[in-house]
């Protein structure tokens, strides 16, 4: 800490001058560390599967910004605490345009230099250091003795199908430079991801399939979940094991919300008990090595049986989800997905006598919305490299746009009755239900990528009972 008069300021984390625990290197070490190593073969791989898709995306960017120099950064490590970092994940736009995924090197730059007929594209990255340099053994962030081998420039060039150069050769002194934070470029690369190509669709299906395995793992572990005083945390850990073993990570923080916690839309503390008789809402998605993520929610009866009230609420949410799926087709506006869910939610809450106005009045776009008390969130969002993909797209290209083949989005209605909500019957309070599926739009209509994860009340009950008996 530093002080000046009455002002106290916390010192900045992660400073290069923090050497209080660094051990000195004796001369004998310095004399021998760079010798005695076998020659390293520079294995040159074939281009990876996504390389031609990434090249087409770069061509689209080049055509949209003629004569401009563009820089798309991968990003760097982010400090978690003092001198420890969060795991590195490349920026989604960088991953999309390079095809470099979970193995991307931090601080790399994708640079578009204008030419007479387009752009020369170069990927600048930190080349690997030889064993003769101090970086090899001294730098805990990038030294290969610490973090393992880095790929060579030649290997990356062949792997991704793009020219490469050492990061030290990058110069940014250009008045026409457009960097990743530029609004026009950010918007364009976000909208470029609205339509998924064949590679992306396959990766999203892989992410969904792996996520289903994670849900199956949770169901199988429910007896252990119930026994633990922080069973929600056990659910999170079980899913994390699948995400790391079969993928790269989770695409977002897992929501494992039991009992009344299910009424908190982004409950990620996951420190509560999971008790028989309660529901547990699990919102989770595996991010596979390509960095594409699933986003699936299921609400399970912990003991394998919905109570009559739980089932009534669950089936209302399922009815809303099915109505949205039936309405989804090429040419309708994205907004209509939410409007469809709202109609069902309004009708159901009116039928139950908890809506203060008739359903038709609640559906008035200017004066209504009373049913939103019980479903505050939207019904759908795009899905891809980000769980809320294409978030920087213009409203007219997203919410107000027509659905087109190749779009992948969620359908996720819910009903949430807070434990202290006096507008609903006591038997409703503390019940939260959400059902979320990942949908691919095709020319022939929607395809539910997550249909293999049980959805109906009967199927969910059979799933839970069967899983617990294993």
- What is the SS3 string spanning the chain? CEEECCEEECCCCCCCCCCCCCCCCCHHHHHHCCCCCCCCCCCCCCCCCCHHHHHHHHHHHHHHCCCCEEEEECCCCCEEECCEECCCCCCHHHHHHHCCCCCCCCCCEEEEEEECCEEEEEEEECCCCCCCCCHHHHCCCCCHHHHCCCCCHHHHHHHHCCEEEEHHHCCCCCCCEECCCCHHHHHHHHHCCCCCCHHHHHHHHHHHHHHHHHHHHHHHCHHHHHHCCCHHHHHHHHHHHHHHHHCCEECCCCEEEEHHHHHCCCCCCCCCCCCCCCEEEEEECEECCCCCECCEEEEEECCCCCCHHHHHHHHHHHHHHHHHHHHCCCCCECHHHHHHHHHHHHHHHHHCCCCCCCHHHHCCCCCCCHHHHHCCCCCCCECCCCCCCCCCCCHHHCCCCECCCCCEEEECCEEEECCCCCCCCHHHCCEEEECEEEEEEECCEEEECCCCCCCCHHHHHHHHHHHHCC
Residue 176: the pLDDT is 55
Predicted confidence (pLDDT) per residue in 132-147, tens digit: 888 888 888 888 888 8
pLDDT at position 470: 54
The domains located in the chain, with CATH, are 48-191 (3.40.350.10), 198-468 (3.90.230.10)
Tell me the pLDDT of the chain averaged across its residues. Answer: 93
pLDDT at 469: 57
Residue 173: per-residue pLDDT? 57
Residue stretches of the chain with pLDDT short of 50: 1-13, 15-17
- The pLDDT of residue 199 is 98
Write down the pLDDT at residue 42. Answer: 85
């Amino acid at each position: 800490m530093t002080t000046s008069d009455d002002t106290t300021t916390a010192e900045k984390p992660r400073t290069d001058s923090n050497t209080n625990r660094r051990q000195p290197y004796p001369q004998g070490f310095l004399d021998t560390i760079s010798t005695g190593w076998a020659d390293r073969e520079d294995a040159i791989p074939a281009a990876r599967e996504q390389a031609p898709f990434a090249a087409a995306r770069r061509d689209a960017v080049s055509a949209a910004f003629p004569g401009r120099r563009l820089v798309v950064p991968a990003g760097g490590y982010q400090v978690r605490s003092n001198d420890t970092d969060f795991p590195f994940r490349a920026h989604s736009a960088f991953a999309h345009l390079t095809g470099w995924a979970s193995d991307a090197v931090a601080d790399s730059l994708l640079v578009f230099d204008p030419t007479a007929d387009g752009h020369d594209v170069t990927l600048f990255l930190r080349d690997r250091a030889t064993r003769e340099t101090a970086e090899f053994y001294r730098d805990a962030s990038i030294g290969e003795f610490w973090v393992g081998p880095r790929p060579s420039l030649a290997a990356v060039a062949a792997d991704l199908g793009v020219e490469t150069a050492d990061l030290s050769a990058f110069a940014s002194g250009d008045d026409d430079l457009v960097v990743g934070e530029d609004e026009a470029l950010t918007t364009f690369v976000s909208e470029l991801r609205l339509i998924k190509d064949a590679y992306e669709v396959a990766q999203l299906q892989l992410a969904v399939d792996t996520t289903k395995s994670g849900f199956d793992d949770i169901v199988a572990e429910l007896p252990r979940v119930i026994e633990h005083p922080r069973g929600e945390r056990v659910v999170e850990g079980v899913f994390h094991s699948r995400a790391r073993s079969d993928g790269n990570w989770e695409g977002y923080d897992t929501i494992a919300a039991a009992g009344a916690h299910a009424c908190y839309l982004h409950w990620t503390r996951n420190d509560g008990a999971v008790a028989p008789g309660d529901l547990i809402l699990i919102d989770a998605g595996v991010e596979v090595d390509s960095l594409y993520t699933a986003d699936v929610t299921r609400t399970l009866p912990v003991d394998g049986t919905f109570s009559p009230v739980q089932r009534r609420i669950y089936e209302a949410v399922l009815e809303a989800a099915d109505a949205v799926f039936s309405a989804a087709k090429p040419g309708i506006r994205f907004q209509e997905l939410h409007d469809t869910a709202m109609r069902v939610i309004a009708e159901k809450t009116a039928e139950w006598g908890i809506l203060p106005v008739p359903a038709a009045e609640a559906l008035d776009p200017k004066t209504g919305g009373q049913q939103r008390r019980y479903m505050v969130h939207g019904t759908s969002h795009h899905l891809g490299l980000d769980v809320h993909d294409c978030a920087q797209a213009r409203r007219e290209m997203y919410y107000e746009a027509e659905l087109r083949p190749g779009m992948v989005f969620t359908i996720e209605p819910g009903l949430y009755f807070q434990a202290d909500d006096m507008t609903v019957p006591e038997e409703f309070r503390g019940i939260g239900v959400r059902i979320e599926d990942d949908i691919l739009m095709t020319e022939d209509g929607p395809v539910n990528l997550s249909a293999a994860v049980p959805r109906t009340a009967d199927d969910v009950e059979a799933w839970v009972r069967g899983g617990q008996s294993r």
